[in-house]
Amino acid sequence: MSATLGSPTDAPVRLTGTADSTTVATPTLRALLGRSSFWLIATACILATAIVAVLVSGGSQAAGRALAGDNAAPAGSMALVEVLRQQGVTVTLASSLAEVRGAVGPNSTVFLYDENSYLDQSQLRELGDLATRTVVAAPDFLALQALAPTVGFGGVSESDTLAADCSVPTANRAGELSPGGDTLSIPPGSGQLLLTGCFASDTNTFSLVQVQNDTTGRIISLVPDARLFNNEHIADYGNAALALGLLGPSDSLVWYLPTLADLPRTGPPSLADLMPGWVTPVLVLLTLAAAAAAFWRGARFGPLVAENLPVTVKASETMEGRARLYARSNARLRALDALRVGAVQRLALAVGLGRLAHLGEVVGSVAHFTGRTPDDVRRVLVDAIPKSDAQLMAFSDALQALEHATGQAVRAGAAPAARASASVSQELPPPPAERMDP
């Protein structure tokens, strides 16, 4: 073992021992898992959430947008669009009302499916006046109010068969539709609008409502069940015949699915717009009250005076606290090493060596002055390891006796040569293990 004398008495000193007596200071795996269990669980939850989000997003991307003319998934309508194109109909896919305006001709049909309700009433009214024929799939409340105010919702159809049974030729050619799905209701009076219901589920609930304006002659077909146009159900019953009959009479078809581009472009609201009107007067009043209180209270005190408040901690308190910690953790070797460091420093000064002297030099000088063998002196200063509190006290007494003997020998000016090493062996208990010099 080698050491350098020059650190303070209470500085941590690492002393190593043999393999069978060295205490392992590395935390065990169980302790590490116990301390980091929260972070492990949190990380696992984050990873699980990310995996679920990826799977959900991946599934939605695979399904694509519902009733999109270029979507070949079951929810899309690519099959219907391709059949219309094979029949000579020019199909234009539009994603904004501006594109619809540019694509609509004098004899065009517009297909509308506003799944997210991006259009307001004014935009819906404009759309109903653009084309000669308009087909609306799954109209919402705003669409009904703008295009057919007297038409209402009829709930889900409970009929097993949906036969046309109306005066609309396209519906009669289709014959029957897929059972189930949403329906629309028609009131007795319709005003200027000529309402025709087909595929009745009840006395006044239908799966197709056709609205014809006597003034303009424009026809709007309302189909509450959007499944009739998707790839999955287009071949069921007479769905394909109805879809082709409603969308195919014109040479031009505008397939319109509204997007965020149809929303009005308004900036985010300011903080003043979000706050109620009473907030500003209250803030002004509180500011004036705070200023008045600060002026009132500040005039009662003089200037602040800085004063140093020293804190003195006695050395005995530090020593007793550290001793309690050593005793609580059974750190006998750590406590004995702290005593040995101080003893080695004092012995080095006593025999005339500097504070930076090597440990071997201190051991040799002390052995020379006291007449003991270097092995006995090294055992007292380094090698002996306490296994009980009694051994710790015995080793502490041996350190004190060695310092006392060294001091007497130095003051006498000579080192007795006849002292045997037996005295040291009598002062110390039998060593349970020896510490190896690294």
Higher pLDDT, 52 or 81: 81
Least confident of 15-19, 109-113, 185-189, 355-359: 15-19
Mean pLDDT of the chain: 80
- The burial class, CB within 10 Å (0-12 / 13-18 / 19+), for 170 is buried
* Cut 0.75: pTM above it: no
Q: Which helix (H) or strand (E) holds 346?
A: helix 332-350
pLDDT at 421: 38
- Considering only residues 37 and 244, tell me which one the structure prediction assigns the higher pLDDT: 244
Containing 135, the helix (H) or strand (E) segment is: strand 133-137
Distance between CA atoms of residues 375 and 431, nearest Å: 13
pLDDT at 191 (0 to 100): 54
Confidence of residue 189 (pLDDT cuts 50, 70, 90): low
DSSP output for 188-224: S--TTEEEEEEEESSSSEEEEEEEEETTT--EEEEES
Residue for token digits 């750590």? 334
Which pLDDT belongs to residue 77?
A: 93
Percentage, residues of the chain above pLDDT 90: 34
* C-alpha to C-alpha distance for 188 and 358, rounded to whole angstroms: 113
Residue 357 has a pLDDT of 82
If pLDDT is split at 50, 70 and 90, which confidence band does 259 have? very high
Q: Determine the residue type at 158.
A: E
| Angle of CA points 213, 211, 199, to nearest 5° | 155
> How many Å is the Cα radius of gyration of the chain?
48
Instruction: Select, from the ranges 19-28, 96-105, 330-339, the one with the highest average predicted confidence (pLDDT).
Output: 96-105
What pLDDT, on the 0 to 100 scale, is given for residue 122?
Answer: 92
Q: Report residue 9 CA to chain centroid gap.
A: 49
Average pLDDT for 335-347 = 85
The three-class DSSP label of residue 239 is: helix
Q: Which of 116-125, 171-180, 225-234, 375-384 has the lowest mean pLDDT?
A: 375-384
Of 102-116, 210-224, 410-424, the one with minimum mean pLDDT is 410-424
Alpha-carbon dihedral angle through residues 39, 44, 45, 48, given to the nearest 10 degrees: 160
Q: Where are the beta strands (DSSP E) in 224-373?
A: 252-256
CA 113/CA 105 separation, integer angstroms: 20
- Under 8 Å between Cβ of 150 and 126: no
Read off the pLDDT band of 7 (50, 70, 90): very low
Which of 16-25, 103-112, 126-135, 343-352 has the weakest average pLDDT?
16-25
Residue 435, pLDDT > 80, answer no
Task: Evaluate if residue 423 carries a pLDDT over 60.
Answer: no
pLDDT tens digit sequence for 277-326: 888 888 899 999 998 888 877 666 666 777 776 777 677 777 777 777 77
In this prediction, residue 21 carries a pLDDT of 44
